[in-house]
Each structure stands twice: as structure tokens, then as C-alpha cells.
């Protein structure tokens, strides 16, 4: 059997007063998910470990069967890979913002007026420079976002960010240990040069002329090195896999683990994404791959906004799109879950375990009648850990060899 893993980012939640104490998933009309719950099994999952509040990157590492506590150094390499920048062993990658600073290196706008055009020209003015013996690779992302990769000998991800995360003075990067100082020195020099180059760039001269804040510095944060892990295929008994995902962070992580990224027109990684196009792409990918990861970001965005009604409506849209995948689907183990909880009451991630649902023709079922946090607590899967999920799914799909005689 094949495996379809549907990850609804941040879908799990807590009771919402306006819904008489129901969670958004309980309040949502999800006939397709409920049918799978009735015919399959549910349970709860601590994605990393009890009490640990997962980020989307560490959570997805765990769900793909890796131990984030061992292999994770920071978010940068996933963002860089997600923007199509190659990240090699020994590289250190950062996510960046184009920001506005004054001559005293005070950040006056962390997003340079949410600049949305000509960042390719600004990025190419920074890309390709050399500082000491280190190559600088720099690429724009969406809007004010960008990625920076340092490549060369003696680099380390254990350095602090230069982005102050609010208005205020640009920080000086420091290494955690003396051997990390080189990377900090390179990053500080890059930051200084980015100001010198961008402040007089024609794009910014024009922005100032029309009264917009110039994008006159690149501020880096989230340093990391690519995890040195076996590929997804090596990790999971030869399963070959693909991913349908709109956001660069998860796309980069999937691509670094060796999953094939299926491009989908209209997949935005936001609330306006084309869910049906993504569902159809996932179904098609199942004809050529053993494993397909289908990721929807928006429930997390509604959670961060504290918008419980928006979250309910989007969960219902996911359920509708899933019908496109499920109709006529055979010989496939389907799993639906979340990478973490993003309770609307917190507007942030929480450590609460997430509900997980597993369905497949001929597999067991339990007494669960519908799919939500409450019901899942009494489901037949019990309480599992995120990094056991893939092993469980490939076992159910008949992909795991016998252990012993």
C-alpha cells in the first residue's frame, strides 16, 4: 500500500468560548474526515515530546522520522532550500529581512514598508560577493523576505542574529564559542556591506524620492546548517516520496530530506491557496510515489490571528478538498494530523498533543465516530510520538521488514 500524509498546520486547538467550549475542529463540519475516523482509528500525538512546543520546522523533522533534538540547528537552511537555493554540508544559512535603517544603524522599519517589488535587483547586488574566504549567496523571497547562505571553510551555525526583531539598533552578531567567531565576523561584515551597497542602490534612491522607506539593509536571523541525516528513502526502507506544499520553510525541509517537490499553480501557502489543485496534485503524485505529504498552512495562520471562525471555515475547505483525493482511492494508508497546536486563545503554538487519524482499506477501526481533539483521546492509536508516525504508517502499508525470525 501507499501512504498519504495530510498535515494541517497548527489545526489542533483548545476550547473556544464562542463555540460553547468546542475546538475549531469540533465545531467544523468535516464529513470526509469524520468518515475516515469512523472507518479507521484515531489517537493523540506529542509531535516532539510531551511539553515541548514545536516549531513548524522541528515538528516536520519529527513527522518525517528524524529526531529534531539531535539534528536541528536552526531555520535558515530550510528557508534557503525552500527558495530554491542549494544548501551544502558545512554551509550556514539565514533567513533575512530587507529593512530600513537610519545612518546610525537604527532600524526604523523591519520590513522596509513591506517592499514587494524590485527585491530581485537588490538581492543580485548582494549575491556573489566574497568576504575573506567565504562566498556570499543571497536571494530574495516573497515580499520583504530573503535568504543568505555563507559557504566556505570554518563556518558554524552557533552565532547570534543581527536582526533586533523590533525597531532599535542593529545587533552585533557574536559566536557562542571562540571557534564560532569567524561566522559572526563574516555576518557583521556582510550586514555592514549590505547597507553600503543597498543605501545607494537606484531602487532605493527611487523609493526615497517617492516617499517610501528604502530597503537599505539585509538583516539576518535563524542561522542553521543543513541537518546531516539519511534521506527519507534511506530512513524508511526505500520508500520514495513527494510533497505538495506551499510555504518555503516546509518545502525546503521536504526537499532537503529528499522528497520530490510537486509544483502546484495557485499553491500560495496562505489562506488564498488553491486547495483543490493541491489535492489533485497529491492524488496524481500517489500514482508515481510510495509516499505523498500534502501540507496546508492556513489553519496555523488563523490560529496566530486568533480567528477561530476563519479557522473553522478553512478546516471545512480542507475537508472538501480531501474528497477529491479520497474518491476512488484504494491501496493507500491515509493519515490526517497537524504539526502542532496553534490555539486561537494563545495566538501561538502550544505543547498540547495533536489529534491523528489513520485509515486504510482492510485496516482496523476503533469506536471513534468523528475526528477532533476530544474523540481522539479515546481512539485506538492511543498516545504516540511524532517521530514514530512514519514507522507506524509504513508498517500499516506493509512496507516494513520483519524484525527477527
> Which positions lie near Zn ion, rule CB under 5 A?
9, 56, 300, 339
Q: How far is the CB of 257 from Zn ion (least distance, A)?
A: 16
Return all residues near 134 (Cβ < 8 A) that are at least 6 apart: 150, 151, 152, 155, 186
Extract long-range pairs of 125-133: CB within 8 Å, 24+ residues apart.
125/197, 125/198, 125/201, 126/190, 126/193, 126/194, 126/197, 126/198, 126/218, 129/190, 129/193, 131/186, 131/189, 131/190, 131/193, 132/182, 132/185, 132/186
Closest CB to Zn ion among 9 and 180?
9
Distances (CA, A) of 183 to 133, 176, 194, 196: 11, 10, 16, 20
Closest CB to Zn ion among 91 and 300?
300
Q: How far is the CB of 212 from Zn ion (least distance, A)?
A: 29
Q: How far is the CB of 62 from Zn ion (least distance, A)?
A: 12
Q: How far is the CB of 69 from Zn ion (least distance, A)?
A: 17
Q: How far is the CB of 103 from Zn ion (least distance, A)?
A: 36
Closest CB to Zn ion among 27 and 59?
59
Q: How far is the CB of 369 from Zn ion (least distance, A)?
A: 27
Closest CB to Zn ion among 290 and 339?
339
Q: How far is the CB of 32 from Zn ion (least distance, A)?
A: 22
Selection from 60, 71, 90, 58 nearest residue 251 by Cα: 60
Closest CB to Zn ion among 40 and 252?
252
Q: Is the dihedral of CA 258, 339, 252, 1 positive or negative?
A: positive
The CA distance from 63 to 195, in Å, is 40
Q: Which residue has the CB atom at the shortest distance from Zn ion? A: 56
Closest CB to Zn ion among 9 and 352?
9
SS3 95: strand
Closest CB to Zn ion among 137 and 253?
253
Placement of cell 543543513 in the chain: 226
18 grid coordinates: 464562542
SS3 316: helix
Amino acid at each position: 500500500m501507499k501512504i498519504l500524509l495530510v498535515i494541517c498546520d497548527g489545526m489542533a486547538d483548545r476550547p473556544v468560548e464562542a463555540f460553547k467550549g468546542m475546538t475549531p475542529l469540533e465545531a467544523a463540519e468535516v464529513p470526509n474526515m469524520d468518515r475516515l475516523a469512523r472507518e479507521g482509528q484515531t489517537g493523540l500525538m506529542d509531535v516532539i515530546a510531551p511539553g515541548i512546543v514545536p516549531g513548524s520546522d522541528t515538528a516536520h523533522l519529527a513527522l518525517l522520522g528524524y529526531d529534531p533534538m539531535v539534528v536541528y540547528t536552526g531555520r535558515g537552511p530550510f528557508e534557503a532550500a525552500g527558495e530554491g537555493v542549494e544548501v551544502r554540508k558545512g554551509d550556514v544559512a539565514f533567513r533575512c529581512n530587507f529593512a530600513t535603517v537610519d545612518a546610525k544603524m537604527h532600524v526604523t522599519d523591519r520590513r522596509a514598508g513591506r517592499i514587494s517589488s524590485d527585491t530581485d535587483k537588490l538581492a543580485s547586488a548582494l549575491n556573489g560577493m566574497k568576504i575573506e574566504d567565504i562566498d556570499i549567496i543571497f536571494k530574495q523571497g516573497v515580499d520583504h523576505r530573503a535568504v543568505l547562505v555563507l559557504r566556505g571553510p570554518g563556518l558554524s551555525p552557533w552565532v547570534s542574529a543581527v536582526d533586533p526583531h523590533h525597531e532599535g539598533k542593529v545587533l552585533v552578531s557574536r559566536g557562542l564559542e571562540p571557534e564560532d567567531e569567524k561566522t559572526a565576523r563574516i555576518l557583521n561584515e556582510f550586514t555592514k556591506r549590505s547597507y553600503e551597497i543597498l543605501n545607494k542602490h537606484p531602487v532605493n534612491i527611487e523609493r526615497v524620492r517617492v516617499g517610501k522607506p528604502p530597503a537599505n539593509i539585509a538583516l539576518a536571523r535563524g542561522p542553521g546548517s543543513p541537518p546531516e541525516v539519511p534521506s527519507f528513502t534511506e530512513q524508511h526502507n526505500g520508500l520514495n516520496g513527494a510533497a505538495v506544499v506551499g510555504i518555503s520553510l516546509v518545502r525546503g525541509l521536504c526537499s532537503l530530506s529528499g522528497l520530490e517537490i510537486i509544483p502546484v499553480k495557485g499553491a500560495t501557502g496562505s489562506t488564498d491557496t488553491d486547495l483543490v489543485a493541491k489535492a489533485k496534485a497529491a492524488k496524481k503524485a500517489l500514482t508515481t510515489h510510495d509516499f505523498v505529504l500534502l501540507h496546508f498552512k492556513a489553519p496555523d495562520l488563523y490560529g496566530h490571528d486568533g480567528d477561530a471562525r476563519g479557522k473553522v471555515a478553512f478546516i471545512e475547505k480542507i475537508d472538501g478538498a480531501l474528497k477529491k483525493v479520497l474518491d476512488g482511492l484504494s491501496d493507500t494508508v491515509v493519515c490526517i494530523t497537524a504539526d502542532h497546536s496553534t490555539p486561537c486563545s494563545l495566538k501561538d503554538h502550544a505543547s498540547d498533543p495533536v489529534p491523528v487519524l489513520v485509515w486504510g482499506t482492510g485496516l482496523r477501526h476503533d469506536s471513534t465516530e468523528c475526528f477532533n481533539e476530544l474523540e481522539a483521546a479515546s481512539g485506538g492509536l492511543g498516545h504516540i510520538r511524532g517521530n514514530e508516525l512514519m514507522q507506524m504508517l509504513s508498517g500499516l502499508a506493509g512496507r516494513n521488514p520483519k524484525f527477527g525470525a
